[in-house]
Amino acid sequence: MVLYFFYDFLLFDFPIFVNMEEQVVLVDEKDNPLGLMPKMEAHEKAVLHRAFSVFIFNKKGELMLQQRAASKYHSPLLWTNTCCSHQRDGETNLEAGKRRLKEEMGFVTEVKELFSFIYKAPFDNGLTEHELDHVMIGYHNDPPNINKEEVENYKWMTLLDVKNDIKKNPKKYTEWFKIIFKKSFKKIKNA
């Protein structure tokens, strides 16, 4: 009898560790939530899901760009907007943008949403980004404290310099960043 209780005690006293992959919010074309899916599965199946891109400007009107870390599973070492990611279940777009700024760039600032758009971009590794991307802007003047697991480097550039460099060196930039610039340069510039 003692052994039975001891055995029973062991079964329920040890913690169970489950590796929970990050979930993305699946949406329709009007941004209505349809459910959750593991992030990698959504990218493997090219399922439309919610995402965001944050653009941070300084008082000179320059955009803070980040170079994605070499360890990223897609678009490593490419230049892109200040930060981007996926909203968590129940998280607003603005909450998500501020959270990810802190996680990637090491600072917090207020952001506001400008617009959203849908894009689909396949990658060489078999994954596809199919996102309803919410574009946000904010302002910050100090150097970031970058998270080296997420970001390789950063730099400030004027929007015109970014636009010209994308034309000259398109392979240096992420697909979503190029799409945002092509479709919405004036919206960002006039924000």
Q: What is the mean pLDDT of the segment spanning 161-175?
A: 95
Q: Which one is catalytic: 104, 129, 131, 150?
A: 131
- Residue found by looking up tokens 């279940």 in the block: 89
Closest CA relative to residue 64, chosen from 128, 129, 174, 153? 153
Q: Which amino acid is at 101?
A: L
Amino acid at 44: E
pLDDT at 176: 87
Q: Mean pLDDT throughout 129-145? A: 96
Please indicate whether residue 150 is annotated as part of the active site. no
Instruction: Mean pLDDT check: name the lowest of 57-61, 144-148, 173-177.
Output: 173-177
What six digits make up the tokens of 29? 């074309």
pLDDT on residue 20:
62
Domains in the chain (CATH in brackets) are 24-189 (3.90.79.10)
Query: What is the maximum alpha-carbon separation in the chain?
Result: 78
Give the residue with greater pLDDT, 17 vs 116.
Answer: 116
Instruction: Grade residue 180 by pLDDT with cuts at 50, 70 and 90.
Output: confident
pLDDT for 17 equals: 41
pLDDT at 191: 67
* Burial class of residue 52 in the structure, from the number of CB atoms within 10 Å of its CB (0-12 exposed, 13-18 middle, 19+ buried): buried
Structure tokens at 14: 């040890």
Indicate if the pLDDT at residue 10 is higher than 90: no
Give this prediction's pTM. 0.85
Active site residue 84: yes
Summarize pLDDT for 52-88 with one digit per residue, the tens: 999 999 999 999 999 999 998 888 999 999 999 999 9
pLDDT of residue 181: 81
Residue of 84, 104, 150, 175 marked active site: 84
The reported pLDDT for the residue numbered 56 is 97
DSSP 146-172: --TTTEEEEEEE-HHHHHHHHHH-GGG
CA 64, chain centre distance (Å): 15
